[in-house]
Structure 1
């Protein structure tokens, strides 16, 4: 019998209980008491999974014993509660119903290559081992976020770690939160102290970790190795580098690579991301790839022995040139880079020579210090390098730098005079780690904004104080030299004759002073490397343009919030035309509102040119992007850089601009950095041979890298894939019909929220205000996620991603979508309150024009496909209907939304129908068979075919590589044996014993992988789980059988014939209109829920059309729409058409049709109302000819 338990001791084997799980009943297997009030319940869920949980006496009020004497539903539940619970269940398992639920519930506008990456390259691979290597700016963060969200919504991931460079940690957190509503924490050192068991990685499920913070800390790496992750994502993964020392496989690995090995061993799914996977050394690249599959990349790569490595299934690389929009147009617009050469004025040139001579002399002195104090010598060299760079930046920058250095060294002299006994210590300066420009660059990339600010302060400290002077006399001499240089720099600055500024002013006058000449004025970014130059340029630009608001600045000394505010102003304020920024500010900025850029200071790392240009030449940019590089040709560094830029321009012209990033990841020019070449030119630039060597190295390197880039694409075509836009569009269009956001989500949320005591009211533009969140909902939210408690009220929420941000000056709305805490809590509470209605079943009345001839059962069925390890490969949620004499059939939309609650006078007729014998039959087997044959079985065949192909390819690659390694090590063994016989003894790694061990290890690995990959792929389907059943009765069967009712029914039958004729002509007219528009229309079955015609355009775009035909006579002035039609229309947005047809009594040639787009956007659905009467004239007026 059904009822409540008096105590936990009453639980018996086989007892069916509701309340253990929120959304389905369970069958008790056993109960083991743990004291008087607690115990362990072992049970089997409705889906067949065996689980355990601890239950206590506090759970008794929620546990319901189900009646076992009557199998199947009893149809006695409240229809409104059933409808709410059914919708809650559908949304909870959104990914089983809507295959792209994460796309539509995220604040993104995905592109074809991103959809393909997530839904074709990543999600189907279980477990995932993949390298995503698309070009910079392709949106890899979006792909990773979409993958993570989809996996979480599919309940395939709970614990996720993201490892990234320190400077990108906050950006990752912001993007995951703002675009995907994923709540990640950035790992901080204090988390270790607060961890209850000492391991913060175990206590935090969603973490972002700075790469070097983790890699360089042995304790943290040990903690990481002690936990497991469902997903690990590594950004800028190429930094996890290593290389082989010899052919015997001895490796030199970085701590980052060690960290990568730990992540590979402890994560179920591993996603590596980098735009620069291959630095030109195939052996190092393959060692990096061994993080994904140690067997496919076993041993040192040997070109003559190893076949070309096939990276299919492990890596994807798409270059900017090949990325397209859904319209098939290039995603990235044309870009033009121009060199602006200029010569320093006589005064500037003289200052340049004098400062350069000072730097040269200091460098020579530093070399003398090197043997005694390498740390100090490095600091001196670093300081002088910065001085030289500031000299090239602006008169203001070099004047201020020289002045500060002079003043600081004067302070040092006074300190020396006050304590001459400490001369050596004072001249050496404070204890600090050795600093070079490369070290500074690396530390910068790994630092957050606070650490970057400290690095800038440390740099200024070194520039101001590091000196090669070893005595008081030498220090005094240096200060005297600086006095002269400071005065000279001041004169140049005060003269107002700045040749470099003149070049920038010309660019501004030609491109920015365009008032009234362009519909949207150009915006320009000026990049400089120095704060003094930044302020100097901002003042000059404001004076030139005559408006203080014309120029804004972002630099490393600003906090994150302040930077963000300036960015927003630059993007949205039409008066803010120029942004002057340092590279510090350039990190993470998306500034595609600007289309012009000037490199006022050229970086010594050439990759930064591409990184800077990527700030504007990125997704969302629609204009041609122009870049000007300012180069002083009569300087030594300018000469080297002009050679580089000219070579890039030549290659760019040769390839018609199709090689966007000619340099790739090149930092080395003949094993030396560009900075090294520039410094050599500065120190020895008077030597013609040095000048010629620098030009030759740059020329050869750039040409080599361009050729390597092309050869790489030819050698590995499987990496450099292109996207078939039509295929991706078909994939998305196929999923659109099951889209839940925003219509169905909004309808459920507003109805359920109000039902549970919440208060929500509409605002303009599809937004809502939540004035009160019920306490019961807050408590559920806290239970589900303590880290994100629900608010008691929300000022602005929306269900449509298009309404999140309505522009400057408006409140940013919170998106309510699957996965958001507020919706998750509401779903859980609805299932707790009304979940048992799904088990009981209910009765609906079908009052639509398309009602069937007899009663039908409607079921919600969940289908799950698993592999032989029990891993879920596919989960699907469908609605089926079955009648007494009809076969089951699928319904694309939930039918119950259009069905009504019975009224009191219908109850006697309903009771008579409920007494029919056929309702006592068990239709579960028939539903399960149909769901399997028509749903799961074809999907199983598709999945198995893909897995078979992948396994065969993987086995082939493993056998080739390990077989080659086995052959190599046995040959080494034989060779070493012969050598020993002849008295030749090699070192231990190549001894016969070592070679034999390696060969046998390889044979063991090959045997293991063969066994693993040769086993037949076993894919099976669980029997469909019935998640709710309702009896649907046509309203005509509930009418009074008196003569009056029979007469009305007879009239209704005649009317029905007329209605069918009107409907037929209306649909025919719309079908003809669609064909005239060049689309291919397909009429849906008469009882299809949500729409009547699906029409496909030439580009594969699908439109959904709801047809409403009315006879063009007086009195036919309204039409009816159902809740399903409204919610479906709201979810389809621009793709939905309401087709209104006036059917003329004078013949079909007089019929008229008008289309209404966004017909029901403003309509708020009420869960108790299933149909709405609308005024035909109002909608007809809104309509247009077919479009």
Structure 2
């Protein structure tokens, strides 16, 4: 039976339930602020108004080919895209692809799952090949799951990607595509062709770095008709000093580019600072000797252990392990030595990269963006001798590494933790630290160090497998505690991650995490980040710190780094990351300008790896880093930064006011939506569930009428509550079953008594009708146009005295608790007047839809006019250029002194005139062709403008208000 508040659920009628069910599932107009309410209500995250604003911008016009969402770093572009994805999902448009850098794939998967409760699948070589083996020959066509893949993988499977009729494509870190206008950018051009004509959302904080042509590239990636060709764009817009052209460009970008700045949202997002701490250490002689020996080995011209096609990547990995700890490099050296020994004996061997992947967990993500040839040549006699010599060297290096029992950096860690925890206490934060390392063996070493320190009791490991005893114990306890709730996903990997994070938050003090293991986790409760190993990729460093320094962090975040006093290159890497990228201090971390300048952190990482590999002397190292720093300074162009500001940013006051209104609208719609869902659920589950308050209930068993739907019993809560229950929302199987039942119910006309006397609160608009009666009719009107459908639930009423009720009065009447009485026969006169009123309301809706679609059409036609004019301008400028050359040639011929020069000049003039005449004929033909293309595109849009209207009666009631 229902609980204390449950009795009220019997007080709404089947008529009201049907009305609520249709209200909750109605499709809204594309520019309506109500459109995203379902997606917002179902999200397990507190949304900020700028995120709702950005998502609505992406839906602004049904004719749009997509949008460029360019909010500054840290404002939650993933959340904005998640809202768009959620809405598409709710509309049953579920062919959705997310393309992201390989190191962000797991984060996307987790964010969609945890924040939007949406299923996703990461597609890469292993899972793709498995699908093929399982007989699924179109692995990208995944049913009821969002496909997530890397840039490299999407490019390598471009033909597969192209075949799928995607409903939506989201591309993260899209600045990688900004040079798509250059034919040499193979990845960007391959993806552009594969994704042509599909609706796309591009996410980047840096859409414009060095040239306005980059902006042209990104926009053309979304919509090839936004501008003409690159030549006409360059002619018209590439000079920021041309004020008229600049303003024209700004208007052309307005419908497709959206940008919000961090300073504009401080009313909603409190920011904390980053505070850097540096711990210097001096390696012992043995460690230093090992470093020099292995480094010299890696710099040899020919190495049998490193196949030429994989050498640069393997060298990078081995240098990372060498810098991490003697334990990490010892394991790697032994693996390589054993592999070479097996190769000599002609035994089957794993590839060198496979051997390293178990220890260096980030290898798969790194290798994905370091495409190299993995083939090996057959052995010769000379090779055998070289291998034997190399094995001897490797074994001696490994023996030295194994003999070293303590690392200076490991000892420095204990000192650094004491200092950092003291700082955390001073700042009011919890005494918790996340320690990042790039090596599994180093992780084990750090666990050993800490186990004999004052911090022994609260250490937890986090890596790609989590098979250690504590992890298994934590996982088992977590599964037992959350059994029967939506926290348990059924995926051991996902649930293990959640279990370890919860343990770290509630019981642990120190988490030691590998790079790959920690992708996608959120640790706002921790405010101390320790980079035991410092990646060379600035984007990876930012990602690490961003695990803690993110929305929801209440304290300043302390970031600890280690500097090797004996290593010039390590010192310069830290200097670059600290001073040039400003990763470790300030309020926001790395700026858009700096992170955007490098385009891809992997490319930057390769530059660093090259310096380590090629430079032997300290002065060579210094010179190479000086050159890299100089190049970086040139790329961070302040003039272009100002151009971007003027072009893409709106006035702060204008944005803040818009966000304030959006915040108020979203809260009103969300509150009403959740109330409607719970009122409907109370009614449909009356007698089958116990309702505890306005946002939770317990379901003891699957409803008898659920028709086999997968509905587990237990506690249910609306999103953003405790998280210990099933998250109740409209697209939950129970929510879908509740709505379907209410909508499908056949309702004969009946008398309904509305009990205003016992209604909590006063509704002034209804008070004149207390004691009166009349008729009310509900109709569902659906309008289809421009490939979009929108629903309108029309309520029309009349009193027995003949007064027509406004829509607002009818709406408020449906909120009053009611009781169904006997069936009735509708009064023809009253119903006739109601139908006339309803027809007038429908006509107004149709007119509104027509006017709105006319605006969309006009905007699209203006865009196509601009595209056609761009192309024509480009052609006309070619002729003007030839005219200029002809004039110069005539002047030269007039001033020529000899007959031969005059004749040569005339000949040149004739050639130029012939070229001009040919160009003119081509111009007329090309202009005609452009006009034909424009007309065809307009005709395609016009064919979609025609409205298709359907009416479906919902119910008729005889009402009395008491």
Deviations 1:390-416 (A, max 9, x none): 222223223333344445545556x3x
Q: Is the 8 A contact 1:599 1:629 kept in 2?
A: yes
The structure that is helix-richer by fraction is 2
The corresponding residue for 1:824 is 736
Q: Which of 219, 240, 263 is the aligned partner of 1:322?
A: 263
Q: Is the 8 A contact 2:429 2:527 kept in 1?
A: no
Deviations 1:199-228 (A, max 9, x none): 56678365414244443236524632xxx3
The corresponding residue for 2:229 is 299
The corresponding residue for 2:808 is 891
Q: Aligned in 2, Cα 1:744/1:676: closer, same or farther, shift over 3 Å?
A: closer
Please give the alpha-carbon distance, in whole angstroms, between the structure 2 residues aligned to 1:432 and 1:351: 21
Q: TM-score, normalised by structure 1?
A: 0.63
Secondary structure of the 2:700 match is strand
Deviations 1:168-221 (A, max 9, x none): 55654554444334455666546567789x656678365414244443236524
Q: Is the 8 A contact 1:976 1:992 kept in 2?
A: no
Please give the alpha-carbon distance, in whole angstroms, between the structure 1 residues aligned to 2:415 and 2:775: 77
Please give the alpha-carbon distance, in whole angstroms, between the structure 2 residues aligned to 1:203 and 1:981: 68
Please give the alpha-carbon distance, in whole angstroms, between the structure 1 residues aligned to 2:577 and 2:71: 25
Q: Is the 8 A contact 1:936 1:1021 kept in 2?
A: no
Secondary structure of the 2:697 match is strand
**CA apart distance, 1:487:** 4.1
Correspondence 1:1050-1065 to 2 at 5 A: none
Structure 2 alignment gaps of length 5 or more = 1-10, 238-245, 472-490, 759-766, 890-903
**CA apart distance, 1:682:** 4.9
Please give the alpha-carbon distance, in whole angstroms, between the structure 2 residues aligned to 1:489 and 1:433: 21
The corresponding residue for 1:217 is 157
Q: Is the 8 A contact 2:175 2:599 kept in 1?
A: no
Q: Which of 79, 83, 95 is the aligned partner of 1:142?
A: 79
Deviations 1:1067-1088 (A, max 9, x none): xxxxxxxxxxxxxxxxxxxxxx
Q: Is the 8 A contact 1:769 1:797 kept in 2?
A: yes
Deviations 1:708-738 (A, max 9, x none): 7733533533489888344333234335455
Q: Aligned in 2, Cα 1:222/1:644: closer, same or farther, shift over 3 Å?
A: closer
The corresponding residue for 1:929 is 840
**CA apart distance, 1:111:** 0.8
The corresponding residue for 1:335 is 274
The answer on 1:526 being equivalent to 2:435 is: yes
Deviations 1:830-865 (A, max 9, x none): 333x2343xx45443556383446423333355666
Q: Which of 168, 183, 187 is the aligned partner of 1:231?
A: 168
The corresponding residue for 1:797 is 716
Deviations 1:948-992 (A, max 9, x none): 7844763564355323333355568889999999699x9xxx999
Deviations 1:39-91 (A, max 9, x none): xxxxxxxxxxxxxxxxxxxxxxxxxxxxxxxxxxxxxxx99443333333333
Q: Aligned in 2, Cα 1:129/1:435: closer, same or farther, shift over 3 Å?
A: farther
**CA apart distance, 1:698:** 1.5
Q: Is the 8 A contact 2:781 2:792 kept in 1?
A: yes
The corresponding residue for 2:534 is 602
Q: Is the 8 A contact 2:106 2:519 kept in 1?
A: no
Q: Relative to structure 2, which stretch is displaced further, 587-596 or 1020-1029?
A: 1020-1029
Q: Aligned in 2, Cα 1:561/1:512: closer, same or farther, shift over 3 Å?
A: farther
The corresponding residue for 1:1152 is none
Q: Aligned in 2, Cα 1:955/1:971: closer, same or farther, shift over 3 Å?
A: same
Q: Is the 8 A contact 1:844 1:902 kept in 2?
A: yes
Q: Is the 8 A contact 1:163 1:234 kept in 2?
A: yes
Please give the alpha-carbon distance, in whole angstroms, between the structure 1 residues aligned to 2:140 and 2:599: 37
The structure that is strand-richer by fraction is 1
Secondary structure of the 2:47 match is coil
**CA apart distance, 1:677:** 4.2
Q: Aligned in 2, Cα 1:94/1:796: closer, same or farther, shift over 3 Å?
A: farther
Q: Which of 339, 352, 364 is the aligned partner of 1:444?
A: 364
Please give the alpha-carbon distance, in whole angstroms, between the structure 1 residues aligned to 2:110 and 2:632: 38
**CA apart distance, 1:261:** 3.0
Q: Aligned in 2, Cα 1:434/1:346: closer, same or farther, shift over 3 Å?
A: closer
Q: Which of 678, 690, 704 is the aligned partner of 1:761?
A: 690
The corresponding residue for 2:254 is 312
Secondary structure of the 2:955 match is strand
Q: Aligned in 2, Cα 1:433/1:383: closer, same or farther, shift over 3 Å?
A: closer
Q: Is the 8 A contact 2:756 2:817 kept in 1?
A: yes
The corresponding residue for 2:777 is 859
The corresponding residue for 2:569 is 637
Q: Aligned in 2, Cα 1:489/1:719: closer, same or farther, shift over 3 Å?
A: farther
Q: Aligned in 2, Cα 1:597/1:650: closer, same or farther, shift over 3 Å?
A: closer
**CA apart distance, 1:315:** 1.9
The corresponding residue for 1:35 is none
Please give the alpha-carbon distance, in whole angstroms, between the structure 2 residues aligned to 1:621 and 1:515: 13
Q: Aligned in 2, Cα 1:84/1:335: closer, same or farther, shift over 3 Å?
A: same
Structure 1 alignment gaps of length 5 or more = 1-77, 246-250, 416-421, 780-788, 806-811, 1036-1187
Deviations 1:864-922 (A, max 9, x none): 6665x4644x5444544333342431227452342543668xx9xx99xx77x743643
Secondary structure of the 2:290 match is helix
**CA apart distance, 1:114:** 0.5
**CA apart distance, 1:579:** 1.8
Please give the alpha-carbon distance, in whole angstroms, between the structure 2 residues aligned to 1:847 and 1:687: 86
The answer on 1:87 being equivalent to 2:4 is: no
Q: Aligned in 2, Cα 1:119/1:407: closer, same or farther, shift over 3 Å?
A: closer
Q: Aligned in 2, Cα 1:338/1:701: closer, same or farther, shift over 3 Å?
A: farther
**CA apart distance, 1:337:** 3.8
The corresponding residue for 1:478 is 390
Q: Aligned in 2, Cα 1:575/1:178: closer, same or farther, shift over 3 Å?
A: closer
Q: TM-score, normalised by structure 2?
A: 0.77
Q: Relative to structure 2, which stretch is displaced further, 619-628 or 812-821?
A: 812-821
Q: Aligned in 2, Cα 1:997/1:925: closer, same or farther, shift over 3 Å?
A: same
Q: Is the 8 A contact 2:536 2:605 kept in 1?
A: yes
Please give the alpha-carbon distance, in whole angstroms, between the structure 1 residues aligned to 2:433 and 2:640: 31
Please give the alpha-carbon distance, in whole angstroms, between the structure 1 residues aligned to 2:524 and 2:753: 54
Secondary structure of the 1:210 match is strand
Q: Which of 352, 355, 360 is the aligned partner of 2:294?
A: 355
Please give the alpha-carbon distance, in whole angstroms, between the structure 2 residues aligned to 1:270 and 1:599: 36
Q: Which of 385, 389, 398 is the aligned partner of 2:320?
A: 389
Correspondence 1:1037-1048 to 2 at 5 A: none
Q: Aligned in 2, Cα 1:488/1:87: closer, same or farther, shift over 3 Å?
A: closer
Q: Aligned in 2, Cα 1:804/1:879: closer, same or farther, shift over 3 Å?
A: farther
Correspondence 1:699-714 to 2 at 5 A: 699-702=630-633, 704-705=635-636, 707=638, 710-714=641-645
Please give the alpha-carbon distance, in whole angstroms, between the structure 2 residues aligned to 1:272 and 1:599: 31
Aligned residues: 873
Please give the alpha-carbon distance, in whole angstroms, between the structure 1 residues aligned to 2:571 and 2:424: 37
Q: Aligned in 2, Cα 1:506/1:651: closer, same or farther, shift over 3 Å?
A: closer
Please give the alpha-carbon distance, in whole angstroms, between the structure 2 residues aligned to 1:773 and 1:435: 50
Q: Is the 8 A contact 1:336 1:626 kept in 2?
A: yes
Please give the alpha-carbon distance, in whole angstroms, between the structure 2 residues aligned to 1:208 and 1:859: 44
**CA apart distance, 1:508:** 0.5
The corresponding residue for 1:1072 is none
The corresponding residue for 1:402 is 333
Secondary structure of the 2:452 match is helix
Please give the alpha-carbon distance, in whole angstroms, between the structure 2 residues aligned to 1:928 and 1:735: 30
Correspondence 1:635-1034 to 2 at 5 A: 635-645=567-577, 647-648=579-580, 660-661=591-592, 663-667=594-598, 673-686=604-617, 688=619, 691-702=622-633, 704-705=635-636, 707=638, 710-718=641-649, 724-734=655-665, 736-738=667-669, 739-754=671-686, 759-762=688-691, 767-779=696-708, 789-791=709-711, 793-798=712-717, 800-805=718-723, 812-832=724-744, 834-837=745-748, 840=749, 842-844=751-753, 848=757, 850=767, 851-852=769-770, 854-862=772-780, 869=786, 871-872=788-789, 875-877=791-793, 879-883=795-799, 884-891=801-808, 893-898=811-816, 900-901=818-819, 918-919=829-830, 921-930=832-841, 943=852, 947=856, 950-951=859-860, 954=863, 957-959=866-868, 961-968=870-877, 970=879, 1000-1001=925-926, 1004-1005=929-930, 1008-1009=933-934, 1027-1034=954-961
The corresponding residue for 1:1088 is none
**CA apart distance, 1:130:** 0.9
